[in-house]
Amino acid sequence: MGRKAKFDETKKVKKGPGRKARKQQDPIFKKELLENDETKKLSHRQKQRAARRAKKKAELTEKRKALKQAKKNVAKQNEVVLKEASDDESGDENIQGFTDDNKEWLKPKQKIKNNVKEMSDQDSDSGHDEGSGSDNDEDLPKTGSSPEKYKVGTLDDLFQDSDMENGDVTSEDEGADSSLKMSYNSDSDEEEGKSDEDDDDGDDDMLPIEKANIKLKKKQKLEKKLADDEMQLNISKQDVFAFPTEEELQNPTSLQDVHQRIKDVVTVLSDFNRLKQEGRSRCEYTDLLLKDLCMYYSYNEFLMEVLMQIFPVQELVEFLEASEVARPVTIRTNSLKTRRRDLAQALINRGVNLDPVGKWSKVGLVVYSSTVPIGATPEYLAGHYILQGASSFLPVMALAPQENERILDMCAAPGGKASHIAAIMKNTGALFANDANKERTKAIVGNFHRLGVVNAVICNYDGRQFPDVIKGFDRVLLDAPCTGTGVIAKDPSVKTTKDQKDIQRCFNLQRQLLLAAIDCCNAKSSTGGYIVYSTCSILPEENEWVINYALKRRNVKLVPTGLDFGTEGFMKYRHHRFHPSLKLTRRFYPHTHNMDGFFVAKLKKFSNVIPEPVKDDDDEEAETTEVSGDQPNGNVESDVDSQQSEKKSVGVKRPATSTETEPQKKKNKAPTQKSTPTSSTVPTAVSSNNQIKKKKRKNKKNKPNANDGNKVPQTEQVQIGSINEKSDIKSPNINIQDKNNKQKNINDTGNKNSTETTLKSHTPLNDKLSNNSTALVVNKNVSLNPNQKNKNKKNKNKSSNGSSKSVAVVNKNELKITEKVEVNASRKLKKKLKKKNKQIGQISGKQGISRPEGKQNGINKKNKKIKSK
């Protein structure tokens, strides 16, 4: 072949020096030159500062000269006056000046100078520890004023001219310096640098150069301090954020200004007490921030408000920023067809730049850049991988499917998570992939066939109906449809289109789906019984609240998700107080985890029994009180009262949402069953629900009798049941008259129940009502001392249902009470009443807020009326 000669003009000209070419070395500059360069590098600020410093110095030197002269003149004249006036100061002097070794040379004549000097000493001392700048300031006026008092007018002018703080310090110090020059007293100055006592002798021996060194150091310190002061002044001036005026707000200039303002407001809010403008409340700042954020990131105000409630401002801005940027593309290796390493190799050969997604996943790869369309490579088409967000791995990892299980993915389209499940199961068992949208199921079909999933049944049901189709799954994955607030980067339309209704619609659907998912799951599965709930939303309404709802209505509990990262779920959000176990759920944010906003919760179903559904929040509220009311030997009605009050006082932690009742219910389930053997067949969470079947009702009615009226809470259930029977169901807000009727019914039925065994005859309504008012008191009078009467009255006001309940129980008690029972009851009552007394204050405050039912209030009013009679 030989070397090809290139004669055309495309011939390359050699770049750079040849191998043998001589290279000139880098020039070597003299040290001085280099240094000069460095000094020139002063920044604009520094230059300004230097100039100012120089100016100040010049001023000071002038002042010093004037001062010196003045001192010389005045000190001699006023010596006597000074001695008298500076008694208090001379006290200090005595301590410092005369106890020292320098007594010998301390002459009475120099007292003034010393005085001044020592003050300056103190100043410079305090200057040394730079934290105590404030001390310095406090001291300074004194020192400044003390000479002022005694000196001539000319001096005064001088001091006034200088800005009190810095000028004084320096002038004094300079004065000290000058005195150092003049006299031997410089020792006292030098002592400041070192300790007072030890080095005195050494000072005498000091070389002139050492002295000069010390002097220089002092000067440097002083300069530094000055610079610091200046700096602080600058900072404090800069940081004040001026609240924009109305005009400014109405005519926004540019987005950059808005952005700057956002930053400013965030800093102000981060240290509000220090940085706020006088007369501006935090609300004003947050409102401004809200508006600015809405404008800058183009959200609607509703969503922004919601987000502000979730995040602190600093984090909010981070979140919004992160939501603007798309997350990195991630792919999931299909372990049915290939291994990650092979896939990575194949893709790298195609010019794809990728990396493993993290230690937490063995199948994920992050794609940084690619020369080929990553969604159309032959590997993709052959089903070796699927494009899937990193966050989508999480619910499947939490689900942890096992081989040969039967698993349901309720909202499967487009089949990413479902195929992941199939891959983990290695195509064994059975996978049901359901989606409500028929069009989208085609994507599932495509993906499943491409990925080689053969164990799947793809169906198209509304998820809420799925329990009617097939149940008994070992695991259920519910990746519920949501508002998508976690994936704003993917779909920016979320920013502007969502409002309260959308969220409400979403979480209603999610609740129903979750209940359906739980129903589909088989608690008795040997390997499973797990439900994983996930959304790509970050709103607690769609996440924690939904879980909390399900916790209450189904026999499920939260278990750890098995994901070792992510932030814990909220236990409280605004006025909501969720079940404490909600901290086992996991949240993922775009700004902290660099994946889509996501929520994952793993539930374990521990019983296939479906607790009786609870109708609405009010009923639930009642239910908590009831259920909490049953104690094995529940006493008289006041028990219930006290329990109620206790509950309410607990309500400080968990106010009146539908959500807070769950934990108590769970805990109390067991006792109810124990205490009522007849009700063992009845689902545990029986309560004041309107859908209880009649049989069950009867059961419950019998309960009190069986227990000889010990089961107070049950009576309430009965009453409500009876209300239903008479189809008296009414909205909570009924007027008092309705209440009267109702209560009559209640009382009647209550009595019926009791009379089945006790044969107590009916009393007319009036009697009943009076009974209501006095029953408690009367009953307790039998057993208790009169002291408790008052307390009981108080209780009655609180407890509406209690009074009606009381009738029933009282009747029984009247017949059946033996002395023993009486004693027991009285003891317990006392205890309860004590508790109650403490809690009354809280309760009365609570009632209005936490109990929206007009029922109670109405009855309370009634009771009051009756009492007044």
Annotated binding site for S-adenosyl-L-methionine: 411-417, 435, 462, 479
535 binds other proteins (CB under 8 A): no
The residue (of 290 and 407) whose beta carbon lies closer to other proteins is 407
Nearer to other proteins, 453 or 584 (CB): 453
Which 3-state string (H, E, C) describes 45-109?
A: HHHHHHHHHHHHHHHHHHHHHHHHHHHHHHHHHHHHHHHHHCHHHHHHHHHHHHHCHHHCCCCHH
Strand ranges inside 480-627, DSSP E = 530-535, 556-559, 567-568, 572-573, 576-577, 586-588, 598-605
HEC readout, 368-391? EEECCCCCCCHHHHCCCEEECCHH
Q: State residue 478 phi and psi, 5-degree precision.
A: -120, 100
Q: Which stretch binds other proteins (CB under 8 A): 229-237, 278-286, 437-445, 721-729?
A: 437-445
Site string (663-702) toward other proteins, x via CB under 8 A = ----------------------------------------
Half-sphere exposure of 817 (CA within 13 A, CB side): 18
Residue 438 touching other proteins (CB under 8 A): yes
513 binds other proteins (CB under 8 A): no
**Out of 95, 216, 249, 454, which residue is the one contacting other proteins (CB under 8 A)?**
454
Output 144 or 429, the one with its CB closest to other proteins.
Answer: 429
Alpha carbon of 79 to those of 83, 146, 776: distances in Å? 6, 14, 92
506 is catalytic: no
Dihedral sign computed on CA atoms, order 70, 76, 80, 82: positive
- 336 vs 636 by CB, closer to other proteins: 336
Rounded CA separation 484/491 (Å): 8
Q: Does residue 442 belong to the site contacting other proteins (CB under 8 A)?
A: yes
The least CB distance from residue 434 to other proteins, in Å, is: 9
Tokens coding 127 = 């200057």
Q: Does 580 bind other proteins (CB under 8 A)?
A: no
Q: Residue 799 CB, nearest distance to other proteins (Å)? A: 51
- Does residue 759 come out as left (phi exceeding 0), alpha (psi in the -120 to 50 range) or beta? left
* Contact flag: residue 446 with other proteins (CB under 8 A): yes
Residue-wise burial string across 541-574, b where 16 or more C-beta atoms lie within 10 A, e elsewhere:
bbbbbbbbbbbbbbbbebbebebeebeebbbebe
Nearest approach, Cβ of residue 754 and other proteins (Å): 50
| Among residues 86, 388, 441, 510, the one that binds other proteins under rule CB under 8 A | 441
Among residues 482, 506, 520, 536, the one annotated as catalytic is 536
Rounded to a whole number of angstroms, the minimum distance from the CB of residue 422 to other proteins is 12
Q: Is residue 460 close enough to count as binding other proteins by CB under 8 A? A: yes
Residue 23 binding other proteins, by CB under 8 A: no
Regarding 525 and contact with other proteins (CB under 8 A), the answer is no
Q: Looking at residues 264 to 323 of the shown chain, list those that interact with other proteins (rule: CB under 8 A).
A: none
Binding positions are: 411-417, 435, 462, 479
Secondary structure of 791-804 in HEC code, one letter for each residue: HHHHHHHHCHHHHH
Does residue 386 interact with other proteins by CB under 8 A? Answer: no
Q: Are 278 and 474 in contact (CB under 8 A)?
A: no
Nearest CB to other proteins, comparing residues 404 and 790: 404
**Residue 35 or 468 having the CB closest to other proteins:** 468
Q: Is 3 left (phi over 0), alpha (psi -120 to 50) or beta?
A: beta
Task: Tell me how far, at minimum, the Cβ of 450 lies from other proteins, in Å.
Answer: 5
**Cβ 235 to other proteins shortest distance, Å:** 60
Q: What is 674-743 written as a DSSP string?
A: HH-GGGGGS-TT--S-TT--HHHHHHHHHHHHHTTT--HHHHHHHHHHHHHHTT----S---HHHHHHHH
In the complex with other proteins, the residue whose CB is nearer, 450 or 576, is 450
Does 430 help bind other proteins (rule: CB under 8 A)?
Answer: yes
| Strand-strand pairing, 567-568 and 530-535 | unpaired
Return the amino acid letter for 521.
Answer: C
Does residue 348 touch other proteins according to CB under 8 A? no
User: Is 467 a residue that touches other proteins (CB under 8 A)?
Assistant: no
From the list 258-266, 435-443, 632-640, 810-818, the region that binds other proteins by CB under 8 A is: 435-443
Which residues have C-beta within 8 Å of that of residue 263, sequence separation ≥ 6? none
Which part of the chain contacts other proteins (CB under 8 A), choosing from 148-156, 161-169, 307-315, 372-380?
372-380
CA dist 132 and 431 (Å) reads 71
> Of 441 and 788, which CB lies nearer to other proteins in the complex structure?
441
Would you say 431 and 457 are in contact if contact means Cβ atoms under 8 Å apart?
A: yes
SS (H, E, C) 768-785: HHHHHHHHHHHHHHHHCC
191-199, 456-464, 481-489, 785-793 -> range binding other proteins (CB under 8 A)? 456-464
- Give the interface size with other proteins as a residue count (CB under 8 A): 33
Q: Is 464 in the site for other proteins (CB under 8 A)?
A: no
Contact present, 391 and 595 (Cβ < 8 Å): yes
51 binds other proteins (CB under 8 A): no
CB of 380 to other proteins, least distance (A): 9
Is cis: bond before 611, omega within 30 of 0?
no
CB of 556 to other proteins, least distance (A): 24
Closer CB to other proteins, residue 446 or residue 632?
Answer: 446
Reading the block at residue 14, the tokens are: 């050699």
What distance in Å separates the CA atoms of residue 177 and residue 433, rounded to the nearest whole number? Answer: 89
Task: Report the sign of the C-alpha dihedral through residues 788, 792, 795, 801, in that order.
Answer: positive
Least separation, in Å, of the C-beta of 650 and other proteins? 46
Q: Scan residues 638-667 and list those touching other proteins (CB under 8 A).
A: none
Indicate whether 518 belongs to the interface with other proteins (CB under 8 A). Answer: no
Among residues 133, 452, 562, 671, the one that binds other proteins under rule CB under 8 A: 452
Contact by Cβ (8 Å): 603, 559: yes
- Residue span 470-509 as binding mask against other proteins, x where in contact by CB under 8 A, dash where not: x---------------------------------------
Q: Which of 285, 297, 448, 588 binds other proteins (CB under 8 A)?
A: 448
Q: Which stretch binds other proteins (CB under 8 A): 132-140, 308-316, 325-333, 452-460?
A: 452-460
Q: Identify which of residues 442 and 464 has a Cβ nearer to other proteins in the complex.
A: 442
Total H helices, total E strands in the chain: 38, 15
Nearer to other proteins, 323 or 441 (CB): 441
Residues from 391 through 410 that contact other proteins (CB under 8 A): 406
Which residue among 78, 110, 361, 455 contacts other proteins (CB under 8 A)? 455
Minimum distance, C-beta of residue 445 to other proteins, in the bound complex (Å): 5
Residue 378 as a binder of other proteins (CB under 8 A): the answer is: yes
Q: What are phi and psi of 508, to 5 degrees?
A: -65, -45
Nearest to 197 by CA among 103, 286, 108, 280: 103
Return the number of the residue (355 or 468) whose C-beta is nearest other proteins. 468
Cα–Cα distance, 690 to 658 (Å, whole number): 16
Write down the least CB distance from residue 528 to other proteins, Å. 16
Yes or no: say if 391 and 357 are a contact pair by the CB < 8 Å rule.
no
Binding segment for other proteins (CB under 8 A), chosen from 38-46, 194-202, 277-285, 379-387, is 379-387
Active site residues: 536
- The residues binding other proteins (CB under 8 A) are 346, 375-376, 378-379, 381-384, 406, 430, 432, 438, 441-446, 448-450, 452, 454-461, 469-470
